[in-house]
Amino acid sequence: MFESYGTGEKLTQAGFLAEKTTTLVFLRFSTVLGNRGSADTVRDTRGFSVKFYTDEGTFDLVANNIPVFFIQDGIKFPDLIHAAKPHPDREIPQAQSAHDTFWDFVSLHTEAQHHTLWNMSDRGIPAPTA
Ligand code: HEM
């Protein structure tokens, strides 16, 4: 359940952000590179997606733990995924970037270099809080 503090009330009329309003939510945490069953302990961007089942309809939210994104132009998304994901003919490497296609892409896109620098920081392997 999501309970609103009401801090967004001045910014929006969305009913579920009114103070003390509770909303049923579905939440999923994910990594970017790893396929189903890959390790959760790898160095990668962490994402989360939330479905808010509000009285006014479902509100979907996705977010990452890195404040910049690999690309700034959506048309590059398929190229990013092809570069980062495992080689289709052998499904390796899994959940990590140890292959030429990824570094080739990063070397050619400054926005991907910025994202990768963040991934190489402690954000890349979030430490479990107590
Ligand atoms: C051009 C930009 C982007 C494109 C084209 C894109 C596309 C996609 C696609 C195709 C999926 C898989 C959806 C599925 O399997 O159902 C996905 C998942 C996801 N994306 Fe993006 N994405 C983009 C940018 C972003 C950004 C900027 C963020 C966060 C700040 C983000 C966070 C996520 C998360 C958390 C998931 C997993 C969602 C889930 O668990 O269902 N994406 N994205």
CATH number at residue 110: 1.10.10.1060
pLDDT at 11 over 90: yes
Determine the distance from the C-alpha atom of residue 27 to the mean position of all C-alpha atoms in its chain, rounded to a whole number: 13
> Residue 76, SS3?
helix
CA nearest 109: which of 68, 76, 66, 85?
A: 76
Range of the domain at 77: 2-124
Pocket test for ligand 1, best of 36, 49, 52, 62 (most atoms within 8 A of CB): 62
Beta carbon of 4 within 6 Å of any ligand 1 atom: no
pLDDT at 99 over 90: no
* Both tokens assigned to 105: 């892409």
For residue 4, the model assigns a pLDDT of: 97
Beta carbon of 29 within 6 Å of any ligand 1 atom: no
For residue 77, tell me if it sits in a domain: yes
pLDDT at 85 over 80: yes
For residue 130, tell me if it sits in a domain: no
Which residue type does 41 have? Answer: T
Beta carbon of 67 within 6 Å of any ligand 1 atom: no
Looking at the structure of the chain, the number of domains it has is 1
For residue 27, the model assigns a pLDDT of: 97
pLDDT at 129 over 80: no
> Residue 37, SS3?
coil
d(CA 1, CA 55): 14
For residue 32, tell me if it sits in a domain: yes
